[in-house]
Amino acid sequence: MKMRLLVAVAAVAAAGLFTTLDASPAQAGGEIKGKISFDGAAPARRAVKMAADPKCEEANPDGRLGEVFVVNDGALQNVFLYVKEGVSGEHETPAEPVEMDQNGCMYTPHVVGVMVGQTIVIKNSDSTLHNVHSLPENSKQFNSAMPMKGMTIKKKFTSPEVMVRMKCDVHPWMSAYVGVLDHPFFATSAADGTYTISGLPAGEYTIEAWHEKMGTQTQKVTVSDGGAATADFSFKPAG
């Protein structure tokens, strides 16, 4: 639910941003939408083994499932979609931060996008020590111990990169991925596999879909003034 909310917020922010840059409301922008499917039998989601930290086990009395393959009725969640080619001009960095929580010794959301320079507020909702460690190649790494419940830190990435991996040095099962872009045209597929990228001017674009285990795919998409183009993707695991 939170993921969907974030996607919706990003879409609204993108639409709002473009409206402010473009004087003509008639050209408030088109959109690309679609659905991500998983081709084949969905792998079973495995229970995450948290025995290394009793506080993590306590926080999840019913256990937690891994988030690498989240397939609901053939729909694939946690795919990052972004416009790879065709965006021009400068795009204002949103003032609103993106939020990432450490809750029950998992990152929420698991996959998220931010703009270069946009603040990411990282929170610790757990009564245990987390150490959030980013592993970008294009920006400076950060490696921050967060020992207290309720603690938050603010971070930014300085260069585009799809994707930046985040991990916890205390809990090896914890990972998240952040797509860093110099424009606001990105989204993450929701629980029903759908996504929407809004606020795009008319034009030809290449959109890329990224999944942490199944790699990337691209499609060329033509967006008309204020129109909606569709780009569906289907992922099949190798082998």
Q: Which stretch binds Cu ion (CB under 5 A): 40-48, 61-69, 161-169, 218-226?
A: 161-169
**Closest residue to Cu ion in the complex (CB):** 168
The single residue among 13, 79, 163, 168 that binds Cu ion, judged by CB under 5 A, is 168
Assess 171 for contact with Cu ion (CB under 5 A): yes
Assess 84 for contact with Cu ion (CB under 5 A): no
Q: Residue 26 burial by CB count (10 A; 0-12/13-18/19+): exposed, middle or buried?
A: exposed
Tokens 């990337």 -> residue: 216
Q: Give 24's contacts (C-beta < 8 A, 6+ positions apart).
A: none
Closest CB to Cu ion among residues 56, 98: 56
The single residue among 116, 170, 178, 209 that binds Cu ion, judged by CB under 5 A, is 170
Q: Which stretch binds Cu ion (CB under 5 A): 22-30, 42-50, 130-138, 200-208?
A: 130-138
Q: How far is the CB of 107 from Cu ion (least distance, A)?
A: 9
Q: Residue 24 burial by CB count (10 A; 0-12/13-18/19+): exposed, middle or buried?
A: exposed
Assess 123 for contact with Cu ion (CB under 5 A): no
Helices (H) then strands (E): counts for the chain: 2, 19
Beta-bridged to residue 154, according to DSSP, are 121
Q: Give 49's contacts (C-beta < 8 A, 6+ positions apart).
A: 173
Beta-bridged to residue 177, according to DSSP, are 111, 165
The C-alpha atoms of residue 102 and residue 126 are separated, in whole angstroms, by 7
The residue type at 207: I
Q: How far is the CB of 172 from Cu ion (least distance, A)?
A: 9
Q: How many residues bind Cu ion (CB under 5 A)?
A: 5
Assess 167 for contact with Cu ion (CB under 5 A): no
Instruction: Yes or no: say if 93 and 115 are a contact pair by the CB < 8 Å rule.
Output: yes
Q: Which stretch binds Cu ion (CB under 5 A): 26-34, 77-85, 125-133, 148-156?
A: 125-133
Q: How far is the CB of 174 from Cu ion (least distance, A)?
A: 5
Assess 81 for contact with Cu ion (CB under 5 A): no
The single residue among 64, 110, 123, 130 that binds Cu ion, judged by CB under 5 A, is 130
What are the residues binding Cu ion (CB under 5 A)? 130, 168, 170-171, 174
